[in-house]
Amino acid sequence: MASSRLSKLVLILAAFALSAAAQSPTRVRGTIDAFDGTTLSVNNVEVHVDEKTDIVFAQPIKLTDIKPGDFLGVTSSKRPDGSLTAYEVRRFPKPLNPGHRPFDGRDDQTMTNATVGAMVQSANGRELTMTYEGGVQKILVPEGASISTLVPGQRAHLVPGAPVSLTMNERREALRIQVGPKGL
């Protein structure tokens, strides 16, 4: 009797875990192929956009616009010596998911969401010191890095050729779309 209850409990927990996993948002990155006002096509993946979709625009800024205390998301390449070189720097309006982790499951790329502690000109170029609970990262920012601030976006930003990173649910409904200027 007890093993029967245990078996049922294990089955219920497994079904719950599978259901929760199926409901996890899926990320799509790429360039907009087309947008007809309700259906967004990115790398041949079609996603429904409605009034509940959160759209943010990556407005280009200069590195000098970033100050200590700003919260950034910095996507970096990890060099063989372990040092980090940014290729994308985003200033967020508020802290979001602080920490330092591999990006897209790759060991050679990282995402650091943290507060700017300092920005200095080093012998190798411009360097950000990023702080988060439990850690500090120093990240070199080369001249060619994409630097922007996230502002509220509009459907008018969803044009063919614009870069996007979006999350969607299992029904292919866009939950959040981050879009940048076309050609960036």
Give residue 95's pLDDT.
92
Residue 184 has a pLDDT of 62
Rg of the chain on CA atoms, in Å:
20
Residue segments in the chain with a per-residue pLDDT below the cut of 70: 1-23, 184
Residue 18: the pLDDT is: 43
Its pTM stands at 0.75
**Does residue 102 contact residue 160 with C-beta atoms inside 8 Å?**
no
Q: Please give the full DSSP string across 90-104, using - where no structure is assigned.
A: EEESS--S-EEEEET
pLDDT by residue (tens digit) across 70-102? Answer: 999 999 999 999 999 999 999 998 898 999 999
> Exposed, middle or buried, 32 (CB in 10 Å: 0-12/13-18/19+)?
buried
Query: What separation in angstroms does the CA of 109 have from each of 69, 76, 106, 152?
Result: 24, 6, 6, 27
Q: Is the dihedral of CA 145, 88, 165, 157 positive or negative?
A: negative
Residue 64: other Cβ atoms inside 10 A: 9
- In angstroms, the CA 27 to CA 153 distance is 18
pLDDT (0 to 100) of residue 23: 64
